[in-house]
Amino acid sequence: MSFKSSVERTADKAKLNVVIEARKVDEVIAKEFRELSKQLRFPGFRPGKAPRSVVEGQVGMDYVLAQALEELVNETYPLAIDREGLRTIGKVDFKEPPALVEREDYSYTVEVGLRPELTLDSTDVSIMMDSKEATEEEIRAQIEGTQERFATYPALKDKKVLIGPDHFVTFSFKSTIDGEDYEGSSVDKHLYQLGQGMMPEEFDNGLLGAKAGDKLKIEFVVEDTGQNSDFAGKTMSFKLKVDEINERVVPDIDDDFAKQTGFDTVEEMRKEIKAYIESQKEQSWDRVINDKLLEALSEQLEGEPTQELIEARADEMLAEFSRMLEQQNMSLDTYFEASNIDPEQYRIDMETQAAITVSNDLALEALAREKGLVPDDKALDKEFEEAAAADEDSKITAKALREGWEKRGMLTSLRDDLSRRNALLWLRDNATIKTKDGVLLNAIKEAVEEIGAAEARAAEEAAEGKEKKADEKADAEAGKKEDAKDKADTKEEGSDDK
């Protein structure tokens, strides 16, 4: 190795010291000169042929040393972190590293935050799952949803009915913002339901008590809710006519309704809906079990994830989402604007999700430590062997795979991933997983307990059997002695008679 490392640990931080050999320092400096000689144009020299003195004269030694220092730190830092087994969190602040000097060892020190190692109050986890079979309630909910899609909204014949909360209304309006027209400011015969949050409360209040044919003027100041912020603080004015008040009419559940939805009979429709629900449950079954197990295990976690850890995970999630958008030629800002999303609220939501994910990971890591599921070097080698065997096309060896991970300083991260995987597999095998109708889905734990109980009963019965046999033997011996005594007494009586 071209560097040495040492570390001083506290509960939540570590001070890492790295010393790079002078030989490695000189190698990287020489490499930077070669790269600059290829990249820059030097009169009188072909690319890559300019001597060091010419390159140094044009760019300056300080620039070369700065570039070399950046490469040295970028190369050695992740390797040192991995070698020392440090599980870091947050961004690393290198502050002002000392200057690089040729032909001398170079050392730098950096403080890093450490990932917390929490414990579990208990590893006994129980979850309740819905049945894989579609219930009557689920089938009915699907049918009712279909009814809603085929609902009609005829006008009420009674023109004296006044608009109330949750009523359906058809209206037309022209609106302005601070007296100015805007895109979409006019609407003709729009069906609307009050109380659904589609418009501000002031708008709904302006409709209450009106009847069909009424002409209304509704005005209010737009609050800043993070959406349509360009309108915030401005006065919105509506000149509105109530065209009609409507009622919702859903079709009866009969064969005519079934035909509207593409089936011949209601029974056929129910069978198809049942099959669809059960197919959806089957596809998501493992994911739902895992989610419930993680939620239940996280509830046993003693302690909370730090805000720094939550923010770091949220940063990772945001960066991953941003990369996905870039593949679609879209930026985050463009996405927020097109989706009418407030960036600040999006960040809050992201941190909420990150907190859940981090808690789940910490709980799995705690379980792995407690149950001895953290893979050692031998277990890691086995993982690399299996990965190499699975990738027949590349013909890469397990040794080469491991060396690749080591060079990138990723072994500690891999060990964490495998620890969490092992812990989740342990949960799947040992947690109690039941359905609401009492069916035990994970019988391993109870089977082991039953085997143990059966063995205990067998041992007890065997002991009782031995004891019974001993008693019977003792009774038989006592009987023999009694018979012998009786015979002896009889002989004695006979001799007396003589």
Task: Return the number of other C-beta atoms located less than 10 Å from residue 63's C-beta.
Answer: 14
CATH code: domain 152-246 is 3.10.50.40
Closest CA to 274 of 138, 147, 148: 138
Sign of CA dihedral 275, 279, 282, 285: negative
What is the model's pLDDT at position 48?
A: 86
Domain boundaries, the chain: 3-114, 152-246, 266-435, 447-498
Q: How far apart are CA 396 and CA 398, in angstroms?
A: 7
| Angle formed at CA 31 by CA 27 and CA 33, multiple of 5 degrees | 120
Q: How far apart are CA 456 and CA 449, in angstroms?
A: 10
* Adjacent-strand bridge partners of 218: 238
Q: How far apart are CA 371 and CA 423, in angstroms?
A: 8
Task: Return the number of other C-beta atoms located less than 10 Å from residue 391's C-beta.
Answer: 11
Query: Which amino acid is present at 75?
Result: E
Q: Determine whether 358 is exposed, middle or buried from the number of CB atoms within 10 Å of its CB (0-12, 13-18, 19+).
A: buried
At 139-158, the pLDDT tens digits run 999 999 999 999 999 999 99
What is the model's pLDDT at position 127?
A: 95
The class level of CATH for 3-114 reads alpha beta
CATH code: domain 266-435 is 1.10.3120.10
Contact 245, 177 (CB under 8 A): no
Of all residues in the chain, what percent carry a pLDDT higher than 90? Answer: 73
At 315-362, the pLDDT tens digits run 999 999 999 999 999 999 999 988 888 899 999 999 999 999 999 999
3-state helix, strand and coil shares in percent for the chain, rounded to the nearest 5: 55, 15, 30
Helix, strand or coil, per DSSP, at residue 215: strand
